[in-house]
Amino acid sequence: MADKDAGYSGFIARFVGSAEAVLYLIVALFLVLMAVAAFFIVARDLSSLIFEGLAIDAIYTALNDLLIVLIIAELLQIIVVFIQKRQLDLRLILAAGLTAMIRRVLIFGVENIPWEEMAVTAVLIAIIAAAIYVIGREKIEFSK
């Protein structure tokens, strides 16, 4: 009976592992599609700068959209590393978070944001920067 249970658990583990791999592949494909779509949006933003004249709001918009592309690329890199090594690289996750926070700070320039929200964002940036500094070159990974 123990051999039969071991066979079932092995089958279930392989099935769940395969399903997980398929999910990561689908997420990666969607991220690639989003990155391509975001590049077209950045191109549209830049063309409006050229044809409609230079405006600081248009530059903010283009920069915001470009940072979204970078965040998508960082998320895709996290997934690729996880698929290859079956490990999460904490530095990549922190870098994506830092890019998102920097994007948020740049948005503050064009939006009316309460000071409390700005303070929370500043604290989060400091925490992420400190975490990146502490990790340094030491590779900390979470194995699955």
74 touches 92 (CB < 8 A): yes
pLDDT for 89:
83
Q: What is the residue range of 100's domain?
A: 2-143
Task: Report which of residues 99 and 60 the model is more confident about.
Answer: 99
Q: Under 8 Å CB-to-CB from 83, ≥6 apart: which residues?
A: 21, 24, 25, 28
Task: Report which of residues 22 and 50 the model is more confident about.
Answer: 22
pLDDT tens-place string over residues 84-139: 888 888 888 899 999 888 888 877 665 677 888 888 888 999 999 999 888 875 65
Q: What is the mean pLDDT of residues 62-85?
A: 89
3-state percent breakdown (helix, strand, coil) of the chain, nearest 5: 85, 5, 10
Is residue 21 over pLDDT 70?
A: yes
Q: Across the chain, what does the average pLDDT equal?
A: 83
pLDDT for 140:
52
Q: Which amino acid is at 81?
A: V
Of all residues in the chain, the percent with pLDDT exceeding 90 is 19
In whole angstroms, give the CA distance from residue 37 to residue 62: 14
Q: What is the mean pLDDT of residues 37-43?
A: 90
Cβ-count burial 16-33 (b if 16+ within 10 Å, e if not): eeeeeeeeeeeebeebee
Q: How many helices (H) and strands (E) does the chain have?
A: 4, 2
- Radius of gyration for the chain, computed over Cα atoms and rounded to the nearest angstrom: 21
Is residue 143 over pLDDT 80?
A: no
Is residue 141 over pLDDT 70?
A: no
- Token pair listed for 137: 């070159």
Q: What is the mean pLDDT of residues 37-46?
A: 88
At 143, phi and psi to the nearest 5? -80, 145
What are the angstrom distances between the C-alpha of 92 and each of 44, 83, 97? 29, 14, 9
Provide the number of structural domains found in the chain. 1
